[in-house]
Amino acid sequence: MKNQEKTTVQGEGKKPFWKKWWFWVIIVIIIGGVAASGNSTDAEPVEDVAAVPAETSKPETTKQDNEDGEKEDTTKDESEDDKSQQKEQQTEIVENADIPKEYKSALNSAETYSEVMNMSKVAIYDQLISEYGDKFTQEAAQYAIDNIKADWNKNALKSAEAYSETMNMSKAAIYDQLISEYGDKFTEDEAQYAVDNIKADWNKNALESAKTYQDTMDMSPAAIRDQLVSEYGDKFTEAEADYAIANLE
């Protein structure tokens, strides 16, 4: 019996290695390792794909950086503008400090004549230097005229409206008054602007003038008409004078 068991054990030791149990264990381990290696190889592209957004995000960062850069440049420009304005203001202050008091006073007076009385440039200058007016020096008056900010066309129009509304003057008479050296002393262009833009009822002005001649001077209708159209009188048109005479009471 012992000899048989020994024979059996010796027989088992002669089995081929591929029939051994441990051989198949090794095979399984190798296959598992190969499979694991294959899976790790397939996973590499996933890592590459995941890396793509990180690469595409770089231009956005660069763009943002550019935008930030532009904002910084804009801020820089604005800062330079502020500095430039401050420098101009400081320069103006220094320049004003060097201006004689008389010059400043002449300019203030000139602005008042323009804004309140709607005077022309020449009339203001004459008023400033007149011995019967402000008596400023010619230099101070010239400084005022050179530095005044006024719309002379507007002044001429305002003066024309005053002549029409308070004195019932004709269009031609207003023009002559505006340019007269004994009147307002506006330029011809300024006077023309005024009569072209004034809103007035010339027939009504002629009638009001006719009534004044009739009531205060007891003039006849014929004499009134001649006065209305006279070159040395009111300078209304023939039609305007006829309207006035026809509507006298």
Task: Output the pLDDT for position 51.
Answer: 44
Reported confidence tier of residue 133, pLDDT bands at 50, 70, 90: very high
**Integer Cα distance of 77 and 47 in angstroms:** 46
Question: Would 205 be classed as within a structural domain?
Answer: yes
pLDDT tens for residues 90-118? Answer: 655 545 668 999 999 999 999 999 999 99
DSSP of 187-224: -HHHHHHHHHH----HHHHHHHHHHHHHHHH---HHHH
The distance of Cα 49 from the centroid of its chain, to the nearest Å, equals 54
* pLDDT the model gives residue 124: 98
Among 2-16, 67-81, 139-153, 211-225, the range scoring the smallest mean pLDDT is 2-16
For 170-224, write each residue's pLDDT tens digit. 999 999 999 999 999 999 999 999 999 999 999 999 999 999 999 999 999 999 9
Residue 79 lies in a domain: no
Average pLDDT over residues 72-85: 63
The reply to whether 174 and 130 lie within a common domain is no
Does residue 12 form part of some domain? no
Residue 228 in domain: yes
Please indicate, yes or no, if residue 76 is contained in any of the structural domains. Answer: no
Domain presence at residue 14:
no
| Model pTM score | 0.63
Asked if 174 and 124 sit in the same domain, the reply is: no
Q: Let me know whether 110 and 120 are in one domain.
A: yes
Task: For the chain, report the end-to-end CA distance as a whole number of angstroms.
Answer: 173
Task: Name which of 159, 237, 148 is nearest 191 in CA terms.
Answer: 159
Do 206 and 242 fall into the same domain? yes
Please name the residue that has the structure tokens 């002669």. Answer: 14
Flag whether 65 is in a domain. Answer: no
Q: Please list the alpha-helical segments (H only) found in the chain.
A: 2-12, 21-97, 101-117, 121-129, 138-147, 152-167, 171-179, 188-197, 202-217, 221-229, 238-246
The answer to whether residues 188 and 219 belong to one domain is: no
pLDDT at 82: 73
Instruction: Name the domain count of the chain.
Output: 3
Q: What is the residue range of 101's domain? A: 88-150
Residue 241 has pLDDT above 50, yes or no: yes
**Domain boundary pick from 200, 216, 233:** 200
**Residue where a domain terminates, one of 150, 170, 187:** 150
More confident: 137 or 39: 137
Of the listed ranges 30-34, 111-115, 146-150, 243-247, the least confidently predicted one is 30-34
120-145: average pLDDT: 98
Query: With the C-alpha atoms ordered 230, 234, 237, 242, is the resulting torsion angle positive or negative?
Result: negative
CATH code of the domain covering residue 245: 1.10.10.10
